[in-house]
Structure 1
């Protein structure tokens, strides 16, 4: 499981030119699931995410001091199977390492539910829809965390 985390001042996701999710001051997270991901991977990455100090303190002098919970930030969570693209062969990426859609959808919903159970305000995209995501990345700050690297 991978989280591609971007610190944002604003983010919106559109389907059919209509906003279906938007946040201010928080994180836009693209999440990808692999064939082998389980609830343990979700718990590991959510725990890592919630403890990650990625926001500045009140004085703005220390840039990586506060967590998403400490600033009462919001999350826009977007499912993105292309995080598991493999381009070792040929010119077209392979997605054979990505979880199948039915399992990925269950994992995605479990991720949303776990974040909400931790009192995080979560907006979402629409699973398997063609989406447009607009973000204003602050920093810019973009961090990739991967549950395969937990051991």
Structure 2
């Protein structure tokens, strides 16, 4: 399992006319490998909620608080291309989990995040759909 964690000022996912968005928080691009397990998923959920990438309450000391500590939002986007590889000029995604299994694993991932944090602060796109993802990174440091 691979996750790209991006600290954001805001982020959104649009599928057709349906928009899911967050203000300040984390945008997670999640790739699921063909051999990922529930243990991998549990590790990733805990790591995402505990990693300290936000400043303290005064805005002075960086790397002090997690998304959970700061009470911020999380936008999750399934991203099978994180397991892409190049063979000549054509990408291959054979290391990514197949769509039907991956959809179930991704759903479990979202449910676990919601259980471990605050359900209303977890947003996502639509698995397997064409999405427009807008990310405004927070790169102050």
- The two structures have a TM-score, normalised by structure 1, of 0.88
1:135 aligns with 2:138: no
| Alpha-carbon distance, 1:140 to partner | 6.2
* Distance (whole Å) between structure 2 residues aligned to residue 85 and residue 124 of structure 1: 22
Alpha-carbon RMSD across the aligned residues, in angstroms, is 1.2
Q: Structure 1, unaligned stretches of length 5 or more?
A: 142-151
Matched residue of 1:139: which SS? coil
- Correspondence for 2:47: 48
Write the mapping of 1:6-17 to structure 2, written as runs, cut at 5 A: 6-16=6-16
Question: Runs of at least 4 residues of structure 1 off by over 4 A?
Answer: none
Given candidates 98, 101, 108, the residue that maps to 1:100 is: 98
* Distance (whole Å) between structure 1 residues aligned to residue 31 and residue 66 of structure 2: 22
Matched residue of 1:30: which SS? strand
Contact 1:55 1:68 in 2 (8 A): yes
* Distance (whole Å) between structure 1 residues aligned to residue 50 and residue 122 of structure 2: 17
Q: Structure 2, unaligned stretches of length 5 or more?
A: none
- Correspondence for 2:70: 71
- Correspondence for 2:109: 111
Matched residue of 2:53: which SS? coil
Are residues 92 and 104 of structure 1, via their aligned partners in 2, closer, same or farther at CA, if it must alter by over 3 Å? same
Matched residue of 2:90: which SS? coil
Deviations 1:45-73 (A, max 9, x none): 11111110010112222111101111111
Are residues 134 and 125 of structure 1, via their aligned partners in 2, closer, same or farther at CA, if it must alter by over 3 Å? same
- Correspondence for 1:148: none
- The two structures have a TM-score, normalised by structure 2, of 0.94
How many pairs align?
A: 139
